[in-house]
Structure 1
Amino acid sequence: MTAHSTSRPSWQRDTCPPWCVVVHAEHDPPDDRYHDSVTLHVPATLGPGPSHAATTDLVVVMSRRCDELDDWVLVGEPERDGQHLYLARDSAARVASALTSLLTHAG
């Protein structure tokens, strides 16, 4: 079943948002019932400064718990628990705008 299928598990009361790529199944555990977008992998250099910098791939994904209304954007390292940003969709848009502005004006 795809996100655009007319058939869905009995527990799923809402329809998938257009960006959902999850194949929902009847046996999905309640804690795993989310709508998720494609996962983007962004090469990044992290650290408090050049002498402690490390390269990694950040993941960026839109997510919404099934039967809820709020979209969240996750930005973080896939293998680092507790080192993620979970931003409300409007907050993520403001952060993206601020980063674009900062980088544009920094030359």
Structure 2
Amino acid sequence: MTFERPDWLTEPCPAWCDGEHAGQHLEDDRCHHSDYRVVPIIQQQRRWPRPALRPGDDVEAGELNVLTFRSVGARETWIAIANDQQKLELTHESACRLHAALGSLLRDVSDEREKP
């Protein structure tokens, strides 16, 4: 999809930017952002007070939206992981550290063996 480049956008878009800047009329709204990636998830429900539950009643299906963004004119690139209930915004560097830690944890779980 081709978008018309606004007059105020004087810098080039990063390769990951989806190019949609039409709705960014206010200076504070102007940013480069990637396409959203939707990740289906199963998560624990958080309710208080916790009622008596049957096995499996405390989990629910959901989605997380993942995208990259950077304010126009800024140097820092951010990774957002969010849905209607929660939001996490990390610098690119922090997201790389989180990726490495998750990879390590997932390898540990995959290699899990019964301890004697």
Normalising by the smaller structure, the TM-score range is: 0.7 to 0.9
SS at match of 2:81: strand
| Contact map agreement 2:24 2:30 (CA 8 A) in 1 | no
Aligned to 1:74: 80
| Contact map agreement 1:43 1:56 (CA 8 A) in 2 | yes
Task: Report % sequence identity.
Answer: 33
Q: Which consecutive unaligned segments of at least 5 residues does structure 1 have?
A: none
The number of aligned residues is: 101
* 1:94 counterpart (71, 94, 97): 97
Distance 1:26 1:101 in 2: 40
Aligned to 1:106: 109
Q: Which consecutive unaligned segments of at least 5 residues does structure 2 have?
A: 47-55, 111-116
CA RMSD in angstroms, aligned pairs only:
2.4
> Following superposition, which runs of at least 4 residues in structure 1 exceed 4 angstroms of deviation?
48-51
Mark the structure with the bigger radius of gyration.
2
Give the structure-2-normalised TM-score: 0.74
Aligned to 1:60: 66
Q: Which amino acid aligns with 1:87?
A: L
Q: Which amino acid aligns with 1:75?
A: I
Change (3 A) 1:24 1:105: same
Give the structure-1-normalised TM-score: 0.80
Of 10-19 and 97-106, the range deviating more from structure 2 = 10-19
1:14 aligns with 2:1: no
